[in-house]
Structure 1
C-alpha cells in the first residue's frame, strides 16, 4: 500500500486538516460568525496558520484586522485593542456617545474617569459589527497570552457575541497560558507536532544536510517546525554542534532560545545593543529603539545597526518598526545578556520616554536594584493611571514593584495591602493571600492589621459558622472605627454579617453583629450599616429595617452601590416590593455604566424577588442573562447562586427534571460547606418541583427541613419564602397537625418582625389550616388586603378559596375565583397550579380543556420575551443591543425567530400583540 504524500500548502507542511477547517469557517462567514483558538507549543506553527487564514480571508474579500501580543507590552492597558481596531477608528464618531467616550478614554484620546471594561467591550463589538455591515470582518490575533489584560477580556466578550454577525475571530495561544478567551465559546484547534514524514519533508526544504545531520535535527526538533528550520541555521552560523550540546532533558523551547542566543553572539556589538533595547521596549517603534540604542552605546546610530540582525533572519524592520521574527528570538536576546546590561537598556529607554511618564516609570523600576523611594513613589502614582486605563493587573504589578523598592516597612505594607484589595476585585484568592502574607512580614498599624484580616476574610477558607471569628471581626470593626477607619469598620461588619447569613445559627451571635453595627451612629445614613444589621439578624431587625427603608425611595438614590445595598437589605427584611424597586433602579444604572460583574450578581437576587412577588417572566429573563454574565465575568460563586434560583424557577413553572438536576448540582457544590442559604433554596426547588406534579408527600419531605432551626437546611429569611408551599404540601398529604406548630411559631414571628413576605404567606396559611367555620372569613380577609404587588400569592389564595367554595357546593362563586387564579397562573407559567385551577373549573361545571392550549407567549424563551417587550416599547435593534450588550444583528436574529412564534410579520404588529399577552 502506497503512503499518502505529505500535504504542502501556503508553505505549510502537514497542516491540511487545520487549514481546511479554517477555510470552511471563513467560507461560511456570511451565514454565521465564529471564534477559533489555535493552541500549541512555541514554534509549532500557530503564527503561520494565522497568516494563511488571513490571506484566505483577504482573498474572499473580508476586512482583516490583525493584532499581536508582545510580552513587554502587557502592562500597557488596551494597547492590543488599539492595535486591532486602528483601521476602524473612523467609525468611532458613529458610536453612541457613552460607547464613544468609553473607547476614547480607554485609548487615552479623552480624559475622564476609568471606563467600565464591559462598556468598552460593547463599544468594540459595535465598532466591529458596524464595519461588518459593509463587508465581512476577520480578526486575526496572535500571541493572545501576551496581550494586556483588558484587551484579553474585551476579546472574550466579543468572541461570545459574534455568532449572528459576519465576523470571525481567529486567535493564537501558546500552551500553558490560561486566558479569558480560552473560557469563551470557541472552536479549538490544537496544533500537534509534525509526524515523522512531515518533519522529513520540512527539513528537506532547509537545504542540504548529511544523513547524520538530518537524524540529529529530527531527534532534537521533536516535530517542531520552528526547530526544524532554525536549528540547522543556528548550527551553521554558530559553527558548533548545537543539537547535541547540553542534557537531553533541556526543554525544546530552551534549546531554541540557546540556538538564537548563539547566533546573536556573532553579531556586531552595536547590533546587539539595538536588539537588547528592542527586547526591553514595550513597542516596536523604530524611532524609540534607535534613540535608546544611541544612549546605551553612547554613539549616534542609524538603521545600519539593524542590518546584520535582519540578514541573520532574527528581525525584520521598516521605517516604522522593528519586529522579532519569533518571540523566542526576543527571549533569546534577554537570555544572552547579563542583568547589568538589561538594567542599562531599561535606563536608556527611561531617558527616551521622559515625556511619557507612565511608560517611563516601568523602565526606571527595572533599571534599579532597590530600594529607591523616589521610583517607588512614582510607581505607586502610576497604579492610579493603570486603574484609570482599565488594567487592574498592571496596577497590582506596579504596587508590588513599588513595595519592593520601598524602604519604610509601614509604607511597604500599605502598598501591598492596596494591591491585595485590587486582587480581591479580580476574584484572585491566591494573589490576595500571597500579598497579605507579604504585607504581614512588615510592621502593621492597627488599621492595616484590621485591613489585612478583612482581606483574608473575603476569601475565608475556614469554618463559616465559627462564632469566635464573628466576634473577632466585630472587635476589629470597633477598633477600626475608633481609629478613624469607619469605612473599614463597615466592611468588616458586612463580612461578619455575611457569615451570619450563610452559616451562623446562634441568635446571640447574630444579635451581637447587629448591635455592633447599630453602635456606629456616625454611619447612620450609610446603607452598609443597614445591610449589616439586617443580614446578620433578618428576623430581629426586619421591622426596624422596613420602617427605615420606607422613607427612602429608589428614585431619590443616585448611587448604584447604595441602591444595591438597600435592595439586599430590603430582601433580607422580607420587603420584596421595596427590594424590587431598588434593584430595578440599580439594574438600569449598571447597564448604563457597563458594570456587568455587579449586574450578574444583582440579577440573581432580583430573580429571587420576582419569584416571591409573581413577576416570573422578569425572573426568567434575569436568570438567563445573569447566567451568561456570570460566565462572562468569571464569577463561579454567583453562577451557583443563579443556578439555585433557576432551580426554584423551574420547580415553580413545572420543569421538574431540570429543577431536580440543578438542585442536585448546587447541593454537590455545597458539599463540605455550611451554606444554609443555598441549601434552603435547594430544598425549596425540590419541594416546588414535587408540588407542581402533585406529589404532596415528597414535597413535604423536601420542605420540612427548611423550618428546622437546628438543621443544615434552615435559613431564617429563606424559610419565609417557603411557608405557602409547606402548608399546601402538608394539607395534601395529611400532615396538618405537624405543620400547625410551625405556623404557630411563624405567627409569633410575624407580630415581632412585621415582615411583609411572612405576612402575605400567612394570609394563605391561616384559612388552609383553619376550622371550616373560620376558613371563609380568613380567605376573604386575605383577599381584602392590597396584594397588587403580590400577584402570585393572591392567585394562590384565589385557587384555594375557589376550591373551598366548590367543595361547599357554591360553584358559581368558585368559578369567578378559579378563573382569576387561572389567568394569573397562565401569565406566570405556573403549569402545575394552572392544571389545578382548570380541574377545579371543570368540577364546578365550566367547559374547559384538560390542558390549556399553549399560549403564544409561552413559546418564547425568557430572552426572546425580553427583546419582544423592548421592541414593542419602540426601541431599535441598536438601542436594545446597547441595553443587553449584544450586537444589533443578534437582536435581529432573535426577532427572526420571535415573529413566527407570535404569528406576526412586522415590528408594527408586535406592540399590539404584546399588549394582548
Structure 2
C-alpha cells in the first residue's frame, strides 16, 4: 500500500490517507474524489502529493490545471490531459478517433458532437488503463474550458470497474458539470492552530509577535495566506483587515506586482489577458507593450517574486504562480492598459489567426467591421472543434463591433441559436432580447419566434401560439428558409402533442404543414404532422413511413423523428424498430442529448411490447440522462414508464410512489399526466384494487379530465377493461369502448386495434365472448407477448367457468410460461393458480 508518510504536508495527515486510499484502489477498480475548498486552502499541494503517491504506486499519472484565461479555448484542457496517451488513439473506432482529432485541431472535418468527443475520451482512457492503472489529477477544475468540463464529467460518471482514480479539486461555490457529477467529496479546510503556526514560522520566522498573532488570526489557517500575507503586511493600507480573505490575497499579490520594475509588470499584465503561456509569444507581446526588448532578467524578476512559474523546460511555457495573481493584476490595471495588452498579443500572433482575432476584438472600443468580420470567421473553427460556448462569445463580441443593425441582429441570433444547443436558456433570452432592439427582417423575426419557442414557458398547449408559429413558419418559407419553417412547424406540432390545444388548433397546424408539400419527405414534416393530428392524419403518416426510402436511413436524428412519428400514430412495432436503430446510432456517435429523447419514448414502447428486461435497462439510462441534463419532463416520463413497468412486475406500492412523483413533475402537460395515470392504474390493477384501478383508468378517457390525451390512452384500453371486469363495472367500460370503436374506424393504429381485441373479448356478454377471444388470439401478436398471454389467461379462465378444463389447460399453460418469462409476476401467479384448478 502507498504510504502517505512519504509526503510531508503540515497538518494534512487525514487528507493524505484518504488520497492514498483512492490511489491504491485504482489497482483493481475505479475510484473518484472531489476536493472542495477556498482559494489557497491547500488543494494544489494535496494534488501534488497525490501525483507523487501515484508515481510511487507505479500508476500512470495524467494531470491538468484549469486556467481562467484559457476557459474559452475549446478542449484545451482535454487535449493537455490526453496528450501523453494519444499514441493509443488508433485503437478507437474511426468516428471517435476523428472526433478527438477535430476537437484538438489536428484534423479537418465537420463539427464534432461534444458527447461523441466525451465518449472517445472515456474509451481512450479505459483502453490505456488496461495496460496500467491511471491516476487523473485535475487542479482548479472550475476553470477548465466548458467542453473539457463536460467531457470529464461524462467520464467521471461512467467509471465502473476500470482501473482509474479520478481526483479533482475545485473552489467552493463554483457550479459545473464536474461538481454536479455526484463524486465523493472531501472538503479541505484551514490548518489547525499548531500546524498553521509552524507553517508561518517556516516562511517568516522574524515577525514581530503582535504581527505574527494578527496574521494567524486573519489567515484562518489558509496556507497561501500564511505564506503570502507576511510579505505584504508592512505595506498594508488601513482597509486591509476589512477585506475578505480572497480580496486580501489579491491585494497581497497586487502589492507585490507594484514593487516590480515596469517591464516585469507589463509581462504579468500580458500573461493575465493571454490565452496561453507560450514563453516566446508572451515575451514578444510584452516587448511591444513596453516598447523595448525584454531580456531574461525580466522573466527571472517575476519568478523570483514568486509571481510566475515555469513549466518543465521542454514545454517552453510559463504560467502565473496562482490564479489570484491574474485577478489581482487585472483588477489593479485600467481598461486602457488591458486593451493595450490585448493589442500587443494580437500583433505577435501572425501564425495564429484564431487567437489573433479574439485579441484584436478585445483591444478596441467602438464599432469596427473589419475586426468584427475577422472574429465572426472564428465561429466556424470553434464549432469544428466542438466549442459552441466559444462560438457564442465570439458572435456576441462581433455583434458589439458591427455597425450595420441588421448584421448585428443576425449575429446575436446566431449566438442565441448556439446557446440553445448548449441548453443556456438565460443566454438565449438575453441575446434574443438584445437582437430585437435592432432592425430585423422577416427571417430575423422568424428566427426570434423559433428561439423563443424552443425555451417557451408559457401556457401548455396555447392554441394562439400554435397558430402564430404556423404563420411565422409560412413567412420563413416564403422568404426561402425551408429549414427554419420546418423547425417552427415541428415546434407547433409538438405543442399540440404535449398539451391540449383543442381540435381547431390541431387542424390548423396540420393544414399549415400540408401547405409545404415540397418537404413531405423530410422527417420533421412527417413528425410534425403525426404529433399535430395523430388520429386524423394516421393514414397519411402510415403511408409515408411505409415508403422504402427509410429502410437504409442511418442518420440518428432522422431516425429519431421517424420513430416519434410512428409512436404518435400508435404504430408501435414500427416505432420500436426505428427508435432501436436511432438509439444505437446516437449512442455510437455520442449524441446523448438526442439519445435521451429517443429513450424517453422507446422505454414506453418496450413496456407495451412486453420486453420488460430490456425496458428496465432503457428506463434506468433515460432517468440518469434526464437527471444529468436537468430535463424534468423526461424525468417525469422515466418515472411514469418505470412505475408502470414495476407494477407489471409486481411492486405496485413502489409503482404508485413513482407515479405520484411523475404527476408532480408533469405540471399541466396532458401527455405526461396521462402517462402518470397509466402507471397509477397499472399499480392498482397489479395489487388487485380493481375499483381504484377502473376509476383511475377512466380519467384518461374523459375529455374533461386534465390527464385526457387524444392518442395516449390507446395504451390503457386493455388494462382499463381488465380493471372493469375485476370491479364489476363492465357497463361503464363498454361505454368507453363504444367511443374507441368510433376512433378505430378512423385510424389504423396497431396499438389501439391490439388492445381493442383484448377489451372486446373480456367485456363481451358471456354468450358472445368465445368468438371474440378466438378472433383476438388470431391477430398477429408475435411481438405483443404480454397482451397475448393475458388474452390466453382470460380465455382460459372463461373456459374453466364453462367447465372445459382440458381446453383451458393448454391456454393457461402457455400463458403462465410467457408471463413468467417476461417477468409479469402478478399475472403469472394468477395463471398458475388457474392452471392448478384444471387438474
**TM superposition score category, shorter chain reference:** over 0.9
The Cα of 1:196 is off from its aligned counterpart by 4.1
Q: Deviations over 1:630-686 (max 9, x none)?
A: 34445443233222211111122212232112111111223xx31111111111111
1:589 aligned partner: 585
Find the partner of 2:528 among 514, 532, 535: 532
1:50 is aligned to 2:41: no
Any idea what SS the aligned residue of 1:76 has? coil
1:20 aligned partner: 17
Find the partner of 1:444 among 428, 440, 443: 440
Q: Distance in 2 between matches of 1:116 and 1:627?
A: 22
Q: Deviations over 1:686-730 (max 9, x none)?
A: 111221222211211221111111101111111000000000001
Q: Which runs of 5+ in 1 are unaligned?
A: 1-6, 846-917
Q: Distance in 1 between matches of 2:714 and 2:359?
A: 59
2:779 aligned partner: 785
1:292 is aligned to 2:300: no
Q: Deviations over 1:220-263 (max 9, x none)?
A: 3233221121011123xxx5134x43571x32212211211111
The Cα of 1:210 is off from its aligned counterpart by 1.2
1:97 aligned partner: 94
Any idea what SS the aligned residue of 1:375 has? helix
1:254 aligned partner: 247
Per the alignment, do residues 592 and 126 of structure 1 end up closer, same or farther by CA in structure 2, a change over 3 Å counting?
closer
2:225 aligned partner: 227
Find the partner of 2:829 among 830, 835, 838: 835
Q: Deviations over 1:379-409 (max 9, x none)?
A: 2121121111011111111111111111111
The Cα of 1:424 is off from its aligned counterpart by 1.3
Per the alignment, do residues 98 and 469 of structure 1 end up closer, same or farther by CA in structure 2, a change over 3 Å counting?
closer
Q: Distance in 2 between matches of 1:783 and 1:177?
A: 60
Find the partner of 1:216 among 214, 217, 222: 214
Bigger shift: 632-641 or 656-665?
632-641
Q: Distance in 1 between matches of 2:45 and 2:30?
A: 22
Q: Distance in 1 between matches of 2:538 and 2:710?
A: 11
Any idea what SS the aligned residue of 2:700 has? helix
Q: Distance in 2 between matches of 1:563 and 1:703?
A: 32
2:413 aligned partner: 417
Bigger shift: 425-434 or 88-97?
88-97
Q: Which runs of 5+ in 2 are unaligned?
A: none
Q: Distance in 2 between matches of 1:688 and 1:819?
A: 24
1:133 aligned partner: 130
Q: Distance in 2 between matches of 1:456 and 1:578?
A: 33
1:162 aligned partner: 159
What TM-score does the superposition give when structure 2 sets the normalisation length?
A: 0.96
**Does the 8 Å CA contact 1:554/1:582 hold for their aligned counterparts?**
no
The Cα of 1:840 is off from its aligned counterpart by 1.4
How many residue pairs match? The answer is 832
Any idea what SS the aligned residue of 1:209 has? coil
1:371 is aligned to 2:364: no
1:707 aligned partner: 701
Q: Distance in 1 between matches of 2:633 and 2:359?
A: 39
Bigger shift: 28-37 or 621-630?
621-630
Find the partner of 1:240 among 229, 232, 235: 235
* Runs of 4+ that moved beyond 6 A: none
Bigger shift: 285-294 or 316-325?
316-325
1:519 is aligned to 2:499: no
1:856 aligned partner: none
**Does the 8 Å CA contact 1:47/1:142 hold for their aligned counterparts?**
yes
**Does the 8 Å CA contact 1:157/1:632 hold for their aligned counterparts?**
no
Per the alignment, do residues 10 and 560 of structure 1 end up closer, same or farther by CA in structure 2, a change over 3 Å counting?
closer
Q: Distance in 2 between matches of 1:49 and 1:628?
A: 32
Q: Distance in 2 between matches of 1:591 and 1:166?
A: 23
Find the partner of 1:301 among 294, 300, 325: 294
2:452 aligned partner: 456
Q: Distance in 2 between matches of 1:459 and 1:130?
A: 39
Per the alignment, do residues 505 and 240 of structure 1 end up closer, same or farther by CA in structure 2, a change over 3 Å counting?
closer
**Does the 8 Å CA contact 2:112/2:385 hold for their aligned counterparts?**
yes
Q: Distance in 2 between matches of 1:403 and 1:780?
A: 70
Q: Distance in 1 between matches of 2:388 and 2:463?
A: 34
2:760 aligned partner: 766
